[in-house]
Amino acid sequence: MAVALILVLITVGSVVFHLVSPWWWTPIASNWGYIDSTIVITFWITGAVFVAVVFFMAYCVYRFRHQPGRQAHYEPESKRLELWLTILTGVGVAAMLTPGLFVWRQFITVPEDATDIEVLGQQWQWAFRLPGPDGKLGMTDTRLVSPDNPLGISREDPKGQDDVIIEGGELRLPVDKPVKALLRSVDVIHNFYVPEMRAKMDLVPGQVSYIWFTPTRTGTFEILCAELCGVGHPQMRGTVVVQEQKDYQAWLEGQASRNFARLAPAVQ
């Protein structure tokens, strides 16, 4: 009796905790509302299964507890019941997987008009590179990294000469414009994670990975490193500042001239 009651209380308690606890996801600031919807679907389906299974167990523990004279029912199997349960489970799984795969397709299909930006991780700080007036990022090579060329930008590639380099961990983005972040690391694996953007992807040395999103509201959001990258891992922070288009342009023009000037002498 007590055991059955505790099982019921655990289930009810878990559901109540889910509904009323103050700990929930951050208000979304990107186009990935579909991800949140898929999570909500998954919560409903899995929650129903959890409640059903544990309630059924609690009922059995109460109803079929040992009493003098009770004999268990001998029934090795029931193909019908097992078949139905299998089909039902299959349907539940499909109901979660199908929307998941559709959203994943969107997640990895970058829109044509997305602006390329680069995120560079190194122990334990963030740097960023924005395309200059030509709208294109130049080539890079980890072996070119040096104190006066911290991102390893190739000086032979003309597309790179006007790139805007941002050190110090503050990335600015215009609101409602899709961006494709090209992710690169010069030392160990890092992970570019902005909780409000629902965006997360590793930066792997030796290759370029990517992630795309469209910021949908202005504000300042934290960038965290989400892949263990050594003792300084928790200190590897940055911010994304999402601005109105005109504010962003004004800031970008100020940046462009300064950083272009810095790299230019090396080319000549």
Site for another protein in 191-230 (CB under 8 A): 191, 193, 195-196, 198-207, 209, 220-222, 224-230
Our finding on whether 241 is near another protein (CB under 8 A) is no
DSSP β-bridge partners for residue 167 = 127
Q: Which of residues 119-148 bind another protein (CB under 8 A)?
A: 122-124, 141-143, 145, 147
Residues 144 and 154: beta-carbon distance below 8 Å? yes
Q: Residue 134 Cβ, how far from another protein at the closest point, in Å?
A: 27
Q: How many residues appear in the chain?
A: 268
Q: ω before 124 within 30° of 0 (cis)?
A: yes
Q: How far is CA 44 from CA 19, 24, 29, 243, 260, in A?
A: 12, 15, 24, 36, 53
Q: Contact region for another protein (CB under 8 A) — 130-138, 174-182, 185-193, 246-254?
A: 185-193
Q: Residue 201 Cβ, how far from another protein at the closest point, in Å?
A: 5
Sheet holding 125-130, edge to edge: 164-167, 125-130, 115-122, 179-185, 209-213
Contacts with another protein: how many residues (CB under 8 A)?
Answer: 100
Q: Give the residue with the Cβ less far from another protein, 82 or 244.
A: 82
DSSP, residue by residue, 218-242: -EEEEEEE-S--STTGGG-EEEEEE
Q: Contact region for another protein (CB under 8 A) — 111-119, 156-164, 172-180, 184-192?
A: 184-192
Our finding on whether 5 is near another protein (CB under 8 A) is no
SS3 of residue 72 by DSSP: coil
Q: Give the residue with the Cβ less far from another protein, 115 or 239.
A: 239
Both tokens assigned to 236:
């590897």
Both tokens assigned to 167:
């050190």
Our finding on whether 244 is near another protein (CB under 8 A) is no
Query: Could you say which of 175, 233, 247, 251 contacts another protein (CB under 8 A)?
Result: 233
Q: Which of residues 32-71 bind another protein (CB under 8 A)?
A: 32, 34-35, 38-39, 42, 45-46, 49-50, 53-54, 56-57, 60-61, 64-66, 70-71
Query: Could you say which of 25, 253, 257, 258 contacts another protein (CB under 8 A)?
Result: 25
Query: Could you say which of 12, 16, 93, 266 contacts another protein (CB under 8 A)?
Result: 93
Query: Could you say which of 19, 75, 112, 113 contacts another protein (CB under 8 A)?
Result: 75
Both tokens assigned to 53:
């299974």
Q: Residue 182 Cβ, how far from another protein at the closest point, in Å?
A: 11
Q: Residue 243 Cβ, how far from another protein at the closest point, in Å?
A: 17
Both tokens assigned to 117:
């930006």
Strands 115-122 and 237-243, bridge-based pairing: unpaired
SS3 of residue 31 by DSSP: coil
Q: Which of 133, 193, 129 is nearest to 158 (CA)?
A: 133
Our finding on whether 179 is near another protein (CB under 8 A) is no
